[in-house]
Amino acid sequence: MTVVNDAQPAVITARHTDNVVVGDEIIRHRRITRLMHWSVALTFFIALFSGMPIWTPLFAWMAALVGGMEVARIIHPYAGSLFFIASVFQFFHWLGDMRFRSDEKGAWKPSKLMAYMRWEENTTDEGGKFNPGQKVFFFAVCLGAIGLLLSGLIMWFPLYFPRIVRELSILLHDITFIFFLIGIITHIYLGTAAEPGTFRSMTRGTVTRRWARLHHPGWFRDVDKKG
Amino acid sequence: MASQTLEIHRSSASMWGTRTGIRSLPTVAKYVDTTTCIGCKACEAACQEWNDLKRVPTSQDGSYQTMPKLQADFWNLIKFNETEIDGNFNWLMRKDQCMHCAEPGCLAACPAPGAIVQYANGIVDVNPDSCIGCGYCATGCPFDVPKFHAKTGKMAKCTLCVDRAEVGLEPACVKACPTGCLSYGTKDDMVALGILRVKQLKDSGFKDAILYDPQGVGGTSVVTVLKYNRPELYDLPADPHVSMGVKIWKQVVRPLGVIAGFLTMFAVFGHYTKYGPKEPPADEGRAA
Ligand code: HEM
Ligand code: SF4
Ligand code: SF4
């Protein structure tokens, strides 16, 4: 019996190593990175689908996805807590790659962001493995996860806290969640339809040379030099 | 303890209730005269009995009060507030229970469709089968009434004996009260009774007697005669209203969040139709 994937050296290498060229592909996210990111994504979506029906009856239908309103109330804080734990692992895993570089000063400015979204960013601005937008999003998510956890814990055990604290927690939880909602829609759009070739970096783990050169020229140069 | 026959005026996490507007039911109310309450606790016993609540141990806290606070199994508590006014000792009894607000904060805060309802006659009630036990109602209530049943994880509180009200009977506590300090009828009649009693009290020297029917929550279906116009002495909020936090949460943050979510979806589709996917130029090889 032939094992099909034995014929795919890139996939095998992607199990343990990233930032290397294998044949026509470049390994962008090795297996552990992908596992971490999917843990964050899965727990996030369980928290999302169990939190949103509690937020407004407009999304009451989402409760059916997790087994009804009562189930939503029970599993939401657990899914949220797991999301937080997964985010902590991901934070330390990615922290090194997410450091802002000196050539990225001011790259987070709205004007730069708009230029990026018009697909007009400056290609001589070479950057690292992640672009400044991704780094800002990364730190925002980490901060948001802390906000959701702290407010969520108070909402989990409301009877132990004074009323004003509970009210402020609900407001904090809601406002943070709304930023997450905007963020996740944008994040998924950029990772799929808007930038083809990106999604496979989180499934197969690899990207093409053309993709790397377009989206992360600095990273491409470094990895390509290594060979 | 959902009523089967009463029409629902308002229902939590829903646009509206089931009221058709065909039948017209007057708002009902309970009248409590704290000045003639003798602290006999007959109402407490009647409430436990009629509602088949399990016996709750009393606690000795240096007062005649049965226990410090309402509980999930104890919906009607006479508060024995001890105060000194003008050098005289005063025992200010007060009947602590759900006030059945016209604008209930519990209902406004509740996220589960139909878990809290307000019937056409003004009674605010919990449907345990829809309650998810989140505790939002306790945050929304200005009177700290809803309590959670540890075993079921559901909210419980006074129903104003809705099962009796719907067949035209007075609440169990009113039936049991020996001094006549409790009464039950239409809200209009109970307010009239209260005004009469307040006038009587004023005539006999209690110049600042009032009828506690707080307008901050649209009035309540429990109206209470107080000898002194100082609700806090009776362990009542002076000006109860649905808190600012709950209003901002439900009426500002939530709609803004929904709009923001949909706008982001539109923005994403708009972006895709205008700019399309970001593809690498075709003529790219190894020479980079
Ligand atoms: C980090 C750990 C988290 C904890 C401990 C937590 C806990 C809670 C609790 C206890 C509630 C009240 C309703 C219920 O009991 O189920 C709640 C509501 C909610 N949560 Fe979370 N949560 C967390 C993370 C999240 C995440 C990641 C999201 C979004 C993706 C989220 C979105 C929501 C929403 C939308 C609501 C409804 C708020 C409202 O009713 O206005 N939560 N959360
Ligand atoms: S505990 Fe029950 S009644 Fe109270 S707000 Fe939550 S779902 Fe509604
Ligand atoms: S007193 Fe509290 S529980 Fe009763 S109707 Fe008013 S807000 Fe709801």
Average pLDDT per consecutive 10 residues, chain B (288 residues; last block may be shorter): 76 86 88 96 97 93 93 96 90 96 97 96 96 96 95 94 94 97 97 98 96 97 96 96 96 98 98 93 53
d(CA A66, ligand 2 centre) in Å: 19
Q: Is the beta carbon of B116 within 6 A of some atom in ligand 2?
A: yes
Name the amino acid, one letter, at A196: P
d(CA B139, ligand 2 centre) in Å: 10
pLDDT value for B288: 39
Pairwise CA distance, residues A23 & A7, whole Å: 12
User: Exposed (0-12), middle (13-18) or buried (19+): which is B240, by Cβ within 10 Å?
Assistant: buried
Quick one: which atom of ligand 2 is closest to the CA of B112?
Answer: 7
The verdict on B265 touching A (C-beta cutoff 8 Å) is yes
Residues recorded for chain A? 227
Quick one: which atom of ligand 3 is closest to the CA of B118?
Answer: 5
pLDDT in tens, B188-228: 999 999 999 999 999 999 999 999 999 999 999 999 999 99
pLDDT value for A5: 55
Determine the residue of chain A that is closest to B242 in CA distance. Answer: A167
Interface test with A, best of B70, B127, B132 (most A CBs within 10 A): B132
Determine the residue of chain A that is closest to B269 in CA distance. Answer: A189
Pairwise CA distance, residues B91 & B108, whole Å: 35
pLDDT band at residue A160 under the 50/70/90 scheme = very high
The secondary structure of B170-218 as a DSSP string is PPHHHHH-SSS-EEEEEHHHHHHHHHHHHHHHHHTT-TT-EEE--GGGT
Q: Rg for chain A (alpha carbons), in Å?
A: 20
**pLDDT for residue A7 is more than 60:** no
**How many CB atoms lie under 10 A from the CB of residue A24?**
11
Which residue matches tokens 């999304």? A59
| Backbone torsions φ then ψ of A128, nearest 5 degrees | -110, -150
H/E segment holding residue B30: strand B28-33
d(CA B95, ligand 3 centre) in Å: 14
**pLDDT for residue A57 is more than 80:** yes
Closest by CA position to A123, among listed A32, A34, A33, A212: A212
Question: Which tokens sit at B12?
Answer: 């939590």
Q: Are A21 and A6 in contact (CB under 8 A)?
A: no
Give domain B8-240's CATH number out of 3.20.20.140, 3.30.70.20, 3.30.390.30, 3.30.2350.10. Answer: 3.30.70.20
How much helix, strand and coil, in percent to the nearest 5, is found in chain B?
A: 30, 20, 50
pLDDT in tens, A172-196: 999 999 999 999 999 999 999 999 9
Pairwise CA distance, residues A42 & A157, whole Å: 24
Which residue matches tokens 């949220």? A80
Q: Do B257 and A166 touch (CB under 8 A)?
A: no
Question: Which tokens sit at B152?
Answer: 């079921």
Q: Do A70 and B133 touch (CB under 8 A)?
A: yes
Q: How far is B261 from chain A (nearest CA, A)?
A: 6
pLDDT value for B2: 57
pLDDT value for A105: 74
CA contacts within 13 A on the Cβ side of B143: 25
Q: Are A189 and B268 in contact (CB under 8 A)?
A: yes
The verdict on B16 touching A (C-beta cutoff 8 Å) is no
pLDDT in tens, A108-147: 788 888 888 899 865 555 778 998 889 999 999 999 999 9
Q: Is the beta carbon of B153 within 6 A of some atom in ligand 2?
A: no
Q: From residue B31, how far is each of B48, B188, B213 by CA, in Å?
A: 20, 11, 10
d(CA A47, ligand 2 centre) in Å: 19
User: Exposed (0-12), middle (13-18) or buried (19+): which is A14, by Cβ within 10 Å?
Assistant: buried
The pTM of the full predicted model, rounded to 2 decimals, is 0.93
Quick one: which atom of ligand 1 is closest to the CA of A149?
Answer: 1
Q: How far is A37 from chain B (nearest CA, A)?
A: 23
Closest by CA position to B181, among listed B22, B65, B30, B53: B30
Closest by CA position to A16, among listed A39, A34, A3: A34
Q: Are B213 and B223 in contact (CB under 8 A)?
A: yes
Question: Which tokens sit at B250?
Answer: 């439900």
Pairwise CA distance, residues A200 & B118, whole Å: 53
Question: Which tokens sit at B71?
Answer: 């509980």
Nearest residue (by CA) to ligand 3, atom 4, is: B98
Q: From residue A153, how far is each of A77, A104, B170 by CA, in Å?
A: 8, 36, 43
Determine the residue of chain A that is closest to B108 in CA distance. Answer: A56
| DSSP state at residue A159 | G
Mean pLDDT, rounded, of chain A: 92
Number of A/B CB contacts below 8 angstroms equals: 120
Nearest residue (by CA) to ligand 2, atom 2, is: B131
For the domain made up of B245-287, the CATH class stated in words is mainly alpha
Q: Rg for chain B (alpha carbons), in Å?
A: 25
Q: Do B111 and A54 touch (CB under 8 A)?
A: yes
Chain A positions touching B252 (Cβ under 8 A) are none
Q: Are B171 and B160 in contact (CB under 8 A)?
A: yes
Chain A positions touching B284 (Cβ under 8 A) are 209-210, 213
Pocket test for ligand 2, best of B132, B149, B158 (most atoms within 8 A of CB): B132
H/E segment holding residue B267: helix B254-275
Q: From residue B279, how far is each of A119, A133, B276 by CA, in Å?
A: 10, 19, 9
d(CA B52, ligand 2 centre) in Å: 22
Domain ranges of chain B: 8-240, 245-287
**pLDDT for residue A1 is more than 70:** no
pLDDT value for A125: 58
Pairwise CA distance, residues B188 & B26, whole Å: 9
Quick one: which atom of ligand 2 is closest to the CA of B130?
Answer: 7
pLDDT in tens, B96-124: 999 999 999 999 999 999 999 999 999 99
The verdict on B260 touching A (C-beta cutoff 8 Å) is yes
Ligand nearest to the CA of A42: 1
Quick one: which atom of ligand 3 is closest to the CA of B220?
Answer: 6
Q: Do A167 and B139 touch (CB under 8 A)?
A: yes
| DSSP state at residue B84 | E
